[in-house]
Amino acid sequence: MRNKRIWWLLGILLLVAGVYYWRMTYAYEVRVFETAKGWGYQIEQGGKPFIHQPMIPGIVGEKGFANAEQARKAGDLVVEKISNRQLPPSLTVEELKGIGVEVP
């Protein structure tokens, strides 16, 4: 009887851990949007804004991404960093160049 309880408890704990991992990994969504200065991205968690980035992060000035594809790739990189628990999830100049962003 005691072994059954232990196995049930272990099963429930594994289920909870799995749901927690799934939420941390897949709960983020990247949306791109156009601004007067180019393109930006917004990362949402559970349908609510988590990060709103209307311009290229980490550069001097207020310049948007050249196109929606660059904004999406940047947002995807940030989500990857969040999922890997790299905090803060800032982007480096090298990472921006790697997705085709022209950095002054």
Q: Which pTM value belongs to this model?
A: 0.74
pLDDT in tens, 66-83: 999 999 999 999 999 998
What is the residue type of 8? W
26: left (phi over 0), alpha (psi -120 to 50) or beta: alpha
Q: What share of the chain is helix, strand, coil (3-state, %, to 5)?
A: 45, 20, 35
CA 101 to CA 41: how far, in whole Å?
A: 14
Give yes or no for a contact between 82 and 89, defined as CB atoms under 8 angstroms apart: yes
Does residue 62 sit within a domain?
yes
Does residue 18 sit within a domain?
no
Does residue 104 sit within a domain?
no
In terms of Cβ atoms closer than 10 Å to its own Cβ (0-12, 13-18, 19+), residue 48 is exposed
Does residue 71 sit within a domain?
yes
How many Cβ atoms are within 10 Å of 43's Cβ, its own excluded? Answer: 19
Does residue 10 sit within a domain?
no
What is the residue type of 63? K
CA 91 to CA 100: how far, in whole Å?
A: 13
**What pLDDT is stored for residue 17 in this prediction?**
82
Residue 10 has pLDDT above 90, yes or no: no
Does residue 1 sit within a domain?
no
Does residue 59 sit within a domain?
yes
How many domains is the chain built from?
Answer: 1
Does residue 9 sit within a domain?
no
Residue 87 belongs to domain spanning: 28-98
